[in-house]
Structure 1
Amino acid sequence: MRFRPCIDLHQGKVKQIVGETLTQDNQNVVENFVSELDSTHYAKMYQKDQLRGGHIIMLGSGNEAAAVQALQAYPGGMQIGGGITAENAASYLGKGASHIIVTSYVFRNGELNMPNLLAIVAEIGKENLVIDLSCKERDGKWYVVTNQWTTFSDFEVNPVNISELEQYCSEFLVHAVDVEGKQSGIQKTLASQLSQWVSIPTTYAGGARSIADLELFNSLTAGKLDITIGSALDIFGGNLPYKQVVEYCNQQS
């Protein structure tokens, strides 16, 4: 299990928000934390601590400059996602991203858009692609949600579908949207199932708030999944010491 750090950008600032409150007009976004520090501060900190494979997520428009600054502060150290398409994906790799993360581009109109998936794979190669399977529970099953986590797709996160998608990417990023940003504990069922279903590197995000949560996560997943933590960390206004998380995860990996 590795700790994968994050930089979430909203309106050009580093923030931690409750993901499911995102809307196109940004009128009712619940912000857990708005940093006075810029994106390069966090990128350089992650580089200093030798944390690779974290992600920069651009939540809506107005984040391009801050995202590129972070990429250039830690070349090859972080992935990037948020509004990226086959047309602009290669440019982000050229600006320092290690991988491109996609959700809404490959899940369109409530279903998997295979032409778009094939287009971006042709452009940057599967080795540079991370598919975001951020999902919510409905009727006891997990479904990918898109459009800033506001729209259910018909794509179920299950062993068959995961096996199919693994042919087109090198990693998965999975936000447990029901608990994302709420510091209410990890989604135990999802974490456990993912660890059984995936055969490529996969990062789980959502709800972790303590070392006890990390211990539980590590036990449930047998160390197979990586984890990211946002608003619970003291660097984002929370109570969980960032340094303590780094040390714990380094011991596990």
Structure 2
Amino acid sequence: MTQFRPCIDLHQGKVKQIVGGSLNDKGAKENFISEYDAKHYASLYREHGLLGGHVIALGGGNKSESLDALKAYPQGLQFGGGVTDRNAAEFLKAGASHLIVTSFLFENDEFSWDRLDKIKRETGTERLVLDLSCRRTTDGWNIATNRWQTVTSTKINKENLIELADHCDEFLIHAADVEGLQSGIDEDLVALLGKHCTIPVTYAGGAHTAEDLRKVHFLSNGKVDLTIGSALDIFGGQGVTLEECIEWNKNN
């Protein structure tokens, strides 16, 4: 059954919601900047028993906030953002249930099986989430790295989803082209993930109402979970309330 998964997105040391495709070295288009810190949101998710959420550090200057969030909800949040084999142990020790990895897995924009082996030695398969966040191309979707600015040659397709599933516990997939726009989910991508993913997978990007939970459930046969960011009331949104998401999880 499709579940709501919470998020904490950190940018320049603040909890924010941004337009994903706008993120670059100079900054990003911001939908929301919270007056609360990451620990506040981690504690809120812990209070309501929301599982499988993630803390994502978008660029530098976010380490302290990230560690505070993980310590506030030990084993309740996954962490991603600049994770490598060299710093993985620190975030696991701080309380991350899983580590989310993308850019480290690519070398010269090509997928590196050697780097995958290196991170697996630190996390084990059971605590590793592969972030396959992507952009649309002329013939489907390709994984995007470097804050979603670099489109790699690695496709999101049946063969790659099945092969990579043997090396991690979950997938996290942001549809970077619609991330933060609140203009609707990428229905084709959700359907593809539901059809071919053999492990838990969380989709993020474009969700703007509680109806999107039902839509993702229908399109994926309940196999894909959904993260809602900018549309959520706790992030200044008007499309859906956290309470609606909590009730959805309780009833499904």
When the two structures are superposed, what TM-score results if normalisation uses the length of structure 1? Answer: 0.97
Residue 9 of structure 2 corresponds to which residue in structure 1? 8
CA distance in 2, matches of 1:19, 1:53: 21
Residue 249 of structure 1 corresponds to which residue in structure 2? 249
Q: What secondary structure is seen at the aligned counterpart in 1 of 2:5?
A: coil
- 1:28-107 → structure 2 map (5 Å cutoff): 29-107=28-106
Residue 191 of structure 2 corresponds to which residue in structure 1? 192
Choose 118-127 or 242-251, whichever is displaced more: 242-251
For the Cα contact (< 8 Å) 2:14–2:34, is it kept in 1? Answer: yes
| Aligned-partner residue type, residue 8 of structure 1 | D
| Aligned-partner residue type, residue 76 of structure 2 | G
How far has the Cα of 1:113 moved from its partner?
1.1
Aligned residues: 250
For the Cα contact (< 8 Å) 1:16–1:231, is it kept in 2? Answer: yes
When the two structures are superposed, what TM-score results if normalisation uses the length of structure 2? Answer: 0.97
Gaps of 5+ in 1: none
CA distance in 2, matches of 1:218, 1:115: 35
How far has the Cα of 1:37 moved from its partner?
0.4
Residue 220 of structure 2 corresponds to which residue in structure 1? 221
For the Cα contact (< 8 Å) 1:184–1:207, is it kept in 2? Answer: yes
CA distance in 2, matches of 1:140, 1:241: 36
How far has the Cα of 1:120 moved from its partner?
0.5
How far has the Cα of 1:97 moved from its partner?
0.3
CA distance in 1, matches of 2:145, 2:35: 29
- 1:138-153 → structure 2 map (5 Å cutoff): 138-153=137-152
For the Cα contact (< 8 Å) 1:109–1:153, is it kept in 2? Answer: no
Q: What secondary structure is seen at the aligned counterpart in 2 of 1:209?
A: coil
CA distance in 2, matches of 1:122, 1:45: 32
Residue 19 of structure 2 corresponds to which residue in structure 1? 18
How far has the Cα of 1:217 moved from its partner?
1.4
CA distance in 2, matches of 1:117, 1:134: 16
How far has the Cα of 1:107 moved from its partner?
2.2
| Aligned-partner residue type, residue 218 of structure 2 | S
For the Cα contact (< 8 Å) 1:2–1:250, is it kept in 2? Answer: no
Q: Give the CA RMSD over aligned residues.
A: 0.8
- 1:120-131 → structure 2 map (5 Å cutoff): 120-131=119-130
Structure 2 residue 151 is matched with structure 1 residue 135: no
How far has the Cα of 1:49 moved from its partner?
0.7
Residue 164 of structure 2 corresponds to which residue in structure 1? 165
CA distance in 1, matches of 2:66, 2:210: 29
Q: What secondary structure is seen at the aligned counterpart in 1 of 2:153?
A: strand
CA distance in 2, matches of 1:211, 1:4: 13
CA distance in 1, matches of 2:107, 2:55: 22
Residue 203 of structure 1 corresponds to which residue in structure 2? 202
Structure 1 outlier segments of 4+, above 6 Å: none
Q: What secondary structure is seen at the aligned counterpart in 1 of 2:31?
A: strand
Q: What secondary structure is seen at the aligned counterpart in 2 of 1:227?
A: strand
How far has the Cα of 1:153 moved from its partner?
0.3
For the Cα contact (< 8 Å) 2:173–2:204, is it kept in 1? Answer: yes
Give the share of equivalent positions with the same residue, in percent. 50
For the Cα contact (< 8 Å) 2:216–2:225, is it kept in 1? Answer: no
Q: What secondary structure is seen at the aligned counterpart in 2 of 1:190?
A: helix
| Aligned-partner residue type, residue 187 of structure 1 | D
For the Cα contact (< 8 Å) 2:4–2:213, is it kept in 1? Answer: no
